[in-house]
Amino acid sequence: MEIIKVRPRGYCYGVVDAMQIAKTVAKKVLEEGGGPVYILGLLIHNRHALEELDQLGIVTLDGEDRLALLDEVPEGATVIFTAHGISPAVFDKARVRGLTCVDATCPDVTRTHDLARELVDAGYGIIYIGKHGHPEPAGVIGEAPDRMYLVERPADLDGLPLDPERVAVLTQTTLSLWDTEDLIHAIRERFPHAIIHRDICLATQTRQEAAVKAAAEADLVIVVGDTRSNNSQQLVRVVKERAGKPAFLIDTLEQLDPAWLDGKERVAVTAGASTPSQLTRAVIQELEAIAARAGA
């Protein structure tokens, strides 16, 4: 059995930056006798990374309503905003409460926030392609909640109160490239003059393309990532739908089922952009050991 190590895979620069920011802030605050440091929501969508932060004295406040979560942060404490971005209303409330705010928003997400404000100021209504319940859309749409509309499927376009001559489209950064194009096509049919901005980040795009390319030569694809990670889930989906190959998402080595490997000659391994590299290395090493035993 041959193991195909898909590249690129694993941590993207936005996740690396967010983790480094959190660790640096926590070290500084604790050295000065303060703390704990609070993170508003999941810094990144991987429980192993979050456990590492917990060991540094960082408290993660999990929940979709970021405004409500702020009430759990004590007066004068330090709060970190996650890589997914945050709405202006949350920023304002944190400042009013006198909290020390640290912004770990991914630069790609920040660019989408900036673009949303520019488009709204120019008089556009915005269709935002994203996933319901994900923190990134909540943050971006918070820039102008009365002018932005979250769309996940073509049916969501029905009845939107938009001027067909002044429509712009933004996208969540971690979506499937192909699914987004399908929905953009549906939008163009309804709003031919819409201005399209494809905001899927390069890390997401290249990982999806690499996974599909590797899957074409593999019998099976293993994706290492957290079930809460949208980009990890999308890797599984694009492999199944675009390459027509079986794919499994596993969070730890223990979830690897040897039965998946029966009769497989080539197995590809990739990882979501929020997956620590040591988790993926452990899976690859185990697969290589299985292959070695089978060939002995």
Q: Is residue 105 within 8 Å of residue 15, measured between CB atoms?
A: no
What tokens appear for 24 in the block?
A: 């640096």
State whether 99 and 114 are in the same domain. Answer: no
Q: CB 206: neighbour CB atoms within 10 A?
A: 16
Provide the pLDDT for residue 170.
Answer: 98
CA atoms within 13 A on the CB side of 93: 18
Provide the pLDDT for residue 210.
Answer: 96
State whether 264 and 251 are in the same domain. Answer: yes
Provide the pLDDT for residue 230.
Answer: 85
Q: Residue 280: which pLDDT band, with cuts at 50, 70 and 90?
A: very high
Annotated catalytic residue 136: yes
For residue 252, give the DSSP letter. Answer: S
State whether 42 and 127 are in the same domain. Answer: no
State whether 227 and 143 are in the same domain. Answer: no
Average pLDDT over residues 65-86: 92
Q: What share of the chain is helix, strand, coil (3-state, %, to 5)?
A: 45, 15, 35
Taking only the tens place, the pLDDT of each residue in 89-124 is 999 999 999 999 999 999 999 999 999 999 999 999
**CATH code of the domain containing 181:** 3.40.1010.20
Provide the pLDDT for residue 296.
Answer: 53
State whether 116 and 190 are in the same domain. Answer: yes
State whether 188 and 218 are in the same domain. Answer: no
Provide the pLDDT for residue 93.
Answer: 96
Q: Which of 63, 87, 106 is the last residue of a domain?
A: 106
Number of independent structural domains in the chain? 3
- What residues are paired with 58 via a beta bridge? 37
State whether 289 and 210 are in the same domain. Answer: yes
Provide the pLDDT for residue 228.
Answer: 86
Average pLDDT over residues 70-76: 92
Quick check: 46 pLDDT over 90?
no
With H, G, I as helix, E, B as strand and everything else as coil, classify residue 231.
helix
Quick check: 85 pLDDT over 80?
yes
CA atoms within 13 A on the CB side of 185: 6
Provide the pLDDT for residue 103.
Answer: 94
State whether 220 and 287 are in the same domain. Answer: yes
State whether 187 and 239 are in the same domain. Answer: no
With H, G, I as helix, E, B as strand and everything else as coil, classify residue 103.
strand
Provide the pLDDT for residue 79.
Answer: 95
State whether 19 and 7 are in the same domain. Answer: no
**Structural domain boundaries, residue 184:** 108-196
Q: Which of 151, 177, 196 is the last residue of a domain?
A: 196
Using only C-alpha atoms, the chain has a radius of gyration, in whole angstroms, of 21
* Catalytic hit among 72, 136, 152, 165: 136
Name the least confident of 94-103, 222-231, 287-296.
287-296
Average pLDDT over residues 197-209: 91
State whether 81 and 140 are in the same domain. Answer: no
Provide the pLDDT for residue 13.
Answer: 87
**CATH code of the domain containing 102:** 3.40.50.11270
What are the angstrom distances between the C-alpha of 187 and each of 113, 195, 201?
21, 10, 21
For residue 241, give the DSSP letter. Answer: I
pTM, two decimal places: 0.85
What tokens appear for 219 in the block?
A: 């019998």
Collect all residues with Cβ–Cβ distance below 8 Å to 263 and sequence separation of at least 6: 219
State whether 30 and 84 are in the same domain. Answer: yes
Type and span of the H or E element at 100: strand 100-103
Q: Which of 53, 86, 106 is the last residue of a domain?
A: 106
